[in-house]
Chain A
Amino acid sequence: MIKKNSNNSFKTFVSKLLVFFIIFFFVDLLIGNLLKKFYFQQESGMNYLTTFSIEKTTTDVVIFGSSRATNIFNTKIFEVNLNMPTYNAGRDGEPIFYHYAILKAILNRYKPKIIVLSMDEADFSKNSDDYDRISVLLPYYKSHPEIRPIITLKRPFEKLKLLSNIYPYNSLMLSIIGGNNSFNKNQYANGFIPLRYTISGPLQTYDYSKEIELDSTKINIYKSFIQDCINANISLYIICSPYIINSIGKDLSIIKAIAIAKEYNIDFFDYSRDTFYTTKPELFADYRHLNEKGVEIFSNTVAEKIKYKTLGLKRVNR
């Protein structure tokens, strides 16, 4: 115990600390709830699209992925080709953790008929930033228990931090303000965000021949994504859209993703080096994203391929 002669001093300390925590508790509660209210009443922006994906999607076709999903898979083209309502649940810069969390939340509510998962090169490479990106899911921790195991992958003490009501909205103040302004409401209602510019300058060279370490957690999440779709009897298609780069060797993540898909008997359409696209820079916005023109061709190609695969017909086009 603390020494006797300092007892008074220690009591003072404890009582003052207690008062501090009481003040802090109430301020945290008040501000946290205010932020929660404004966060979930957003009508536009990326956070709104995530909330929509988690809580409101009801479409038969759902597309998952990073910006190479949101910018490349045109939902309207999918709807016309497949004759099914389609939603693009992708989000810029997000890795497999995000996609799996959204899938878990969706499967908790209903079962889509077709799921498209867009894969990127280096998706399985070890990168601590990818774990930090899980932070976009923090506002859903309390209301969506099904995604908690994914959120806790972020950092060792995440559960402890989430005792605060403010922490889930860390660094979100500006986007909450933006999302509560209705100036861009319904702009990207189906989640598809087209890129309307064309790549310029020389092509970059990427050396994939170097040995890189793959992240087993990411690979396991990818496997769980596939397994959950199989368990729910959903037709899953995994797609790697084109890149316009000079490459040495092939990306290890894509090689691994194709092998796993094969293991589970899932179709993996690899367009990453498809010469139809790689010879046409005018179809690209940048080296990893097709532009609106490229998207039209690509989305039609993929949607048609899925249509014939789903209906069990022979492939008639590219």
Chain B
Amino acid sequence: MLFNSFYFLFFFIVVTVLYYTISYTKRWLLLLLSSCYFYMAFVPLYIFILGFTIVVDYVAGIYIEKAQGKRRKYFLVVSLIANIGILCIFKYYNFINDNFSFLLHGFGLSNPIPYLQILLPIGLSFHTFQAMSYTIEVYRGNQKAERHFGIYSLYVMFYPQLVAGPIERPQNLLKQFRQEHKFDSERVFEGLKIMVWGFFKKLVIADRLGIYVNGAYNNVEQQNGMTLLLATIFFSFQIYCDFSGYSDIAIGTARVMGFDLMTNFKRPIFAKSTGNFWKRWHISLSTWFKDYLYFPMGGSKVSVPRWYFNLMVVFLISGLWHGANWTYIIWGGINGFYLVFAIVTQKYRDKFNAFIHIDKFPRFFLFPQVLITFLLISFSRIFFRARTVEDALKIIKKILTFKGSVFNDGTGIILYSCFGIAFLVAVEFKREYYKGSFTLSNHPNFWVRNSYYSFLVILILLFGVFDGGQFIYFQF
């Protein structure tokens, strides 16, 4: 069930009304059943895969807590193998097999191992990571093992964040299922407002940009450099609005029912460096990798070469997490390289910054910093969006010629897209740099506030793409 569908709208209304109607002690059951229904609306059979990992992790959690010494680790390893094993089978098996075939082909041999004809279960990487964070936290002693099977299942399956995050931690979410969330109109409105902004980003900006981006990236041969350059810039905004739009709808939906999910985006378009970007983009995944991979590897508290190695490993795995394709791995590699390069050149950049007195004119240098970061991130996303590495290289080659005129099909798609981007940048600029000043979305006057949100809904009706597709991050 897609968030941007009427089915979801009805589902959300029915579940929310029932949620506040029944006793709070029964709410976990309602949420669990509705989450099952929500997930089964995609491919019903895959609920069994989810069920399998839930049972394994639930049992593992209890045994990790009960066990002593090395046995604790043993149960953790069982849980991790089950989760990563599911990921490997459904997400990476064909990719690994494909590369194996390529390798054998180099020696003139053919690969006897068959390919699997399976669809990737929707949101697999998200709920697997969320489940893994539970057993790891129990192992570390930061979280008590959940004895209530229903509530543990709900932790993995909570429908607002089941298929595309935010990837929650047990310490934040599990306890909330036991709390009584009384109806609070302010809170409900707050949730609805976040949802409206999420829908705006998805329907008005992301899906509009998607039309242009898909047109250009799916027909690389037919496009010139300028069209591909524009499509690449558009894609940066598209993926941000698509994913953060989803997160906003998820966070808003949860908030309407009284739950607080973690913030997933902090206006990454205003990041001043690539390092700063990763503190603002997909925060729930970045912190997951930091807590469960980067720090256990030693983080930055190791020798300098090992530190670079740790960074590269984290980003390469992050790339692989996104998809079983070399394009994602290269994308991860580029972003890892950016960070390593930033550390290597830190000393020289500091000298240069002192020379140009950047500290005296911070606002003056802010724009080039933001622009360079945006361009670097956009460049890496060529690999993220391209269908193949060959396509990505062709796109880069074509862009670097700066030739041709931008393709415009005469339907006003570029103008509509630019309008959406301008609106987004204006709103986020205000939120980033003038947070405490004048606000329409939280204006103290009820009528002003209401008119602003009516205006947003009107803009969605006027400029939204209602026949757009699913969210980009669903495939991960």
CB-based contact A155/B463 at 8 Å: no
In the bound assembly, the distance between CA atoms of A6 and B180 in angstroms comes to 12
In the assembled complex, the Cα of A27 lies from the Cα of B454 at a distance in Å of 8
With a cutoff of 8 Å between Cβ atoms, the chain B residues found around residue A31 in the complex are 458, 462
Give the complex CA separation of A288 and B182 in angstroms.
Answer: 63
Contact of A20 among B411, B412, B450 (CB under 8 A): B450
Residue numbers in B under 8 Å from A160 (CB-CB) = 6
Q: Does B259 touch A at the CB level, under 8 Å?
A: no
Taking a contact as CB atoms under 8 Å apart, the answer to whether A171 and B463 are in contact is yes
Distance, CA A9 to CA B464, complexed state (A): 33
B412 contacts A6, CB within 8 Å? no
Q: Which of B45-53, B183-191, B430-438 contacts A (4 or more CB under 8 A)?
A: B183-191
> Counting CB contacts under 8 A, is A164 at the interface?
yes
- Is B364 located at the chain interface by the 8 A CB criterion? no
Chain A residue nearest to B465 (CB atoms) is A171
Is residue A313 within 8 Å, beta carbon to beta carbon, of the partner chain? no
Which of A11-19, A74-82, A112-120, A218-226 forms part of the interface with chain B?
Answer: A11-19
Kindly state whether residue A182 has any CB partner on chain B within 8 Å.
Answer: no
B400 within 8 A of A: no
Question: Would B416 and A174 count as touching, CB distance under 8 A?
Answer: yes
Given the known interface contacts A13-B183, A175-B412, the answer about A132 and B467 at a Cβ–Cβ threshold of 8 Å is: yes
**Residues on A with beta carbons closer than 8 Å to the beta carbon of B461:** 28, 164, 166-167, 170
A170 to B183, CA, bound (A): 35
B458 A2 Cβ-Cβ under 8 A? no
A residues contacting the other copy or chain, number (CB 8 A): 35
> Residue A10 at the B interface, CB < 8 A?
yes
Measured CA separation A10–B19 after assembly (Å): 14
Total chain B interface residues with beta-carbon distance under 8 A: 29
- Complex Cα distance A29/B412, Å? 25
Quick check: A9 and B184 within 8 Å, CB to CB? yes
B425 is an interface residue with CB less than 8 A from chain A: no
Q: Which of chain B's residues have a CB closer than 8 A to the CB of A156? A: 6
Inter-chain contacts of B455 with A (CB < 8 A):
27
A2 and B416 form a contact (CB under 8 A): no
A132 to B185 alpha-carbon distance, docked (Å) = 37
The verdict on A183 contacting chain B, using a C-beta distance below 8 Å, is no
Kindly provide the distance from the CB of A66 to the nearest chain B CB, expressed in whole angstroms: 15
Q: Which residues of the partner chain A approach B188 to less than 8 Å between Cβ atoms?
A: 13
Q: Are B453 and A20 in contact (CB under 8 A)?
A: yes
> Is the C-beta of B446 less than 8 angstroms from some C-beta in chain A?
yes
Q: Is A173 an interface residue (CB 8 A)?
A: yes
Nearest-neighbour CB distance to chain A for B413, whole angstroms, equals 9
Chain B residues with CB under 8 A of A131: 467
Residues of B within 8 A of A175 (CB): 411-412
User: Are B454 and A171 neighbours in the complex by a CB distance under 8 Å?
Assistant: no
Contact between B462 and A9, CB atoms less than 8 A apart = no
The verdict on A174 contacting B185 (CB below 8 Å), with A135-B467, A155-B467, A157-B6 known, is: no
Would you list which residues of chain B between 434 and 476 have a CB under 8 Å from chain A?
446-447, 450-451, 453-455, 457-458, 461-467
Q: Which residues of B contact A169 (CB under 8 A)?
A: 462
The CA of A200 and the CA of B412, in the complex, are separated in Å by 27
What distance in Å separates the Cβ of A28 from its nearest Cβ neighbour in chain B? Answer: 7
The verdict on B356 contacting chain A, using a C-beta distance below 8 Å, is no
Q: How far is the CB of A41 from chain B (nearest CB, A)?
A: 19
Contact of A6 among B183, B411, B415 (CB under 8 A): B183
A264 interface hit (Cβ, 8 Å): no
Any chain A CB within 8 A of the CB of B341?
Answer: no
Residue B423 lies at the interface, judged by CB distance under 8 Å to chain A = no
Q: For A174, what are the chain B residues with a Cβ–Cβ distance below 8 Å? A: 411-412, 415-416
Asked if B21 lies at the interface with its beta carbon under 8 angstroms from chain A, I say yes
Complex contacts, A20 vs chain B, CB 8 Å:
450, 453-454
Q: Report the Cα distance A5→B464, complex, angstroms.
A: 40
Write the nearest CB–CB distance from B446 to chain A, whole angstroms.
7
Q: How far is the CA of A167 from the CA of B203 in the complex (A)?
A: 13
| B462→A3 contact, CB < 8 A | no
Q: How far is the CA of A175 from the CA of B453 in the complex (A)?
A: 26
A311 within 8 A of B: no
A-B residue pairs, 7 tightest by C-beta:
A13-B185, A174-B412, A157-B6, A6-B183, A132-B467, A166-B461, A12-B185
Using a CB–CB distance below 8 Å, which chain A residues touch chain B?
1-3, 5-6, 9-10, 12-13, 16, 19-20, 23-24, 27-28, 31, 128, 131-132, 135, 155-157, 160-161, 164, 166-167, 169-171, 173-175
Contacts beyond the supplied A12-B185, A166-B458, A171-B412: 19 A-B pairs with Cβ under 8 Å = A1-B21, A2-B21, A2-B183, A3-B20, A6-B20, A9-B183, A9-B185, A13-B188, A16-B185, A19-B446, A23-B447, A28-B461, A31-B458, A161-B466, A166-B461, A167-B461, A169-B462, A171-B465, A174-B415
Binding site for A on B (CB under 8 A): 6, 20-21, 182-185, 188-189, 411-412, 415-416, 446-447, 450-451, 453-455, 457-458, 461-467
